[in-house]
Amino acid sequence: MQPAARPLKGIVRPGHPLARLGRRVTLADLKKHRLGLLPGGYGVRQVLLSAEHGDRMRLVPQLLTNSARALLHFVEQWNGVIITAAFAAAREVEEGRVLALEAEPPLLEGGEAHLVTRRGRRLSPAAQQLLRHLRSKVTIVRRF
């Protein structure tokens, strides 16, 4: 299967100062706000660390967690900013609870999602059901 490009977005609540910029959000912009991030072992964080290196700057998060729920709570209740793939906050964006802002640099456009299975391997009924569910219900997988 082909990888699906998943650009990273800045997730903020409506009315946040970054939402009023009228342009893409830069790393320098992020540095001025309360930032919540995933730990370094996650792909999103790896892309962001690479962008930091390219811009010769370091973002220091106020919240570092592997909990997507905690990150979204940080945005909604503490007026924080998180960087993630848009699908991770799709429901909240659709409900108008948060906004997904375009981000710079273009490196942040390079994130990809992969659904990997072994070629020729017959999946168990449970794995087949999971794969069907992912393809039909999970936004990130629908394009595969």
pLDDT at 81: 97
pLDDT at 5: 53
Give domain 4-113's CATH architecture: 3-Layer(aba) Sandwich (3.40)
pLDDT at 105: 65
Query: How many CB atoms lie under 10 A from the CB of residue 108?
Result: 23
Q: Write down the domain spans for the chain.
A: 4-113, 115-144
Beta bridge pairs of residue 59:
none
pLDDT at 14: 97
Distance, in Å, from the CA atom of 64 to the CA atom of 4, rounded to the nearest integer, reads 26
Query: How many CB atoms lie under 10 A from the CB of residue 45?
Result: 19
Distance, in Å, from the CA atom of 90 to the CA atom of 112, rounded to the nearest integer, reads 17
Per-residue pLDDT tens digits of the chain, which is 144 residues long: 444 556 789 999 999 999 999 999 999 999 999 999 988 777 778 888 888 888 899 999 999 999 999 999 999 999 999 998 888 899 999 999 999 999 886 555 555 555 667 778 888 899 888 878 777 765 554 444
Report DSSP letters for 65-124, one per residue.
-S-HHHHHHHHHHH--EEEEEGGGGHHHHHTTSSEEEEBSSGGGGG-EE-----TTPPPP
**pTM, entire model:** 0.73
Query: Is 5 in a helix, a strand, or coil?
Result: strand
